[in-house]
Structure 1
Amino acid sequence: MLRPLRRQQKQKGTAVPRPSNREVAPLRVLLRLSGLIDAVNDGIGKLVYWLVLVAVVVSSANAVIRYALNTSSNAWLELQWYLFSAVFLLCAGYTFQRNEHIRIDIILGRFSKKVQAAVDVFGIIVFMFPMTLIIMVLSWPMFMDSFHTNEMSSDAGGLIRWPAKFLIPAGFFLLTAQGVSELIKRIAYLTGHRDEPGEKMHSHS
């Protein structure tokens, strides 16, 4: 732990050893990678959550047309599903970056940030990565098959299917990438190369 060690040595009046370039350089590269991943997910999240408004407009227009003009199309209904899926899947990494996924935490929030960061490292490696990678790998052939066959909706007037299926591997790729970023930040925090592990930690409430 470089920073705590330096504080103790300053208080004792001893010389503070500086980490070698070989020791710090790899972590600096990883932190830059983490910053790049954060920027990508932040940009995608802020862009995609506008689709909520688009979905509301489409849903409202579809309801008005259906009841006022007694006409509708399955394409409008499926478009609403596509928009909701895009928001849910493509914003998963953006939500994880802000630690806004729903969690019931009545124990871990009482421990120190170091303990919380260590538990997060364990959870990301042991639970999150296997799940996201398996879903990503299994959903890719499903998307490719739909793309090559130009799969259409089985409902009359429905939309093409492969864009919706592409959202699954794309969303879990972004979530996996954000997991890499959060893992880097927490390791950097635990090793004393970063003051805070992330935007916010576990709630104490």
Structure 2
Amino acid sequence: MPRAARAYVRYVEAVNRAVGRVVMLLIFVMIGILLYASISRTVFDVPISWVMEMGQFLLAAYYLLGGGYSMQINSHVRMDLLYGRLSPRKMAFTDTITSFCLIFYLVVLLMGGISSTRYAITYNQVNYTAWAPLLWPIKTIMTVGIALMLLQAVAFFFKDLARARGEEIE
């Protein structure tokens, strides 16, 4: 594989690894917010209107920003009916073919995310709830997460292509 492809894979995987490990900590923020809401509602009888939406926003950030990292550590679900019986080189060849579908899907998703984020910024879009938070921050985070997963999918394509040719990119 060309040196540029190897450098691309190393850089993208380093970025996704760093982002993924930081984003893992969001689970504790979500737990804290939901615990605070439960205590305030049951002990002090004071319901909080922003908790459910903030939990949803954090969950979206958690799984979208962590998508590239979970892909990198191979923790995505894979249909293994015939795939598990293949040799490592045939698996890599199969993955290069399916990578095109994933990359196409992520490009379309990214285009939609950019369009939606641009709309939210231009029109100061808010969610139609009692809290009415601005939507551009979460839409920006979601678009960044989709972009990171797209970059990781391209890195996987390079790694699988090298593996199908009998090489390895570490």
User: For residues 85 and 15 of structure 2, what CA distance do their matches in structure 1 show?
Assistant: 32
Indicate yes or no: 2:107 matched with 1:133.
Answer: yes
Tell me the TM-score normalized by structure 1: 0.78
Indicate yes or no: 2:70 matched with 1:81.
Answer: no
Report the identity percentage.
22
Q: Which stretch shows the higher mean deviation, 155-164 or 137-146? A: 155-164
Indicate yes or no: 2:34 matched with 1:59.
Answer: yes
What runs of 5+ residues in structure 1 fail to find an aligned partner?
1-23, 199-205
Corresponding residue for 2:167?
193
Larger Rg: 1
2:68·2:148 contact (CA, 8 Å) conserved in 1?
A: yes
What runs of 5+ residues in structure 2 fail to find an aligned partner?
none
Secondary structure of the 2:43 match is helix
Which of residues 13, 23, 29 is equivalent to 2:4? 29
2:110·2:143 contact (CA, 8 Å) conserved in 1?
A: yes
User: For residues 142 and 22 of structure 2, what CA distance do their matches in structure 1 show?
Assistant: 18
Give deviations 1:10-30, integer Å, cap 9, x for gaps.
xxxxxxxxxxxxxx6xx1221
Secondary structure of the 1:74 match is coil
User: For residues 191 and 111 of structure 1, what CA distance do their matches in structure 2 show?
Assistant: 15
CA RMSD for the aligned pairs?
Answer: 1.5
Secondary structure of the 1:85 match is helix
Corresponding residue for 2:152?
178
Where do 4+ consecutive residues of structure 1 move more than 3 Å? none
User: For residues 123 and 47 of structure 2, what CA distance do their matches in structure 1 show?
Assistant: 27
1:38·1:178 contact (CA, 8 Å) conserved in 2?
A: yes
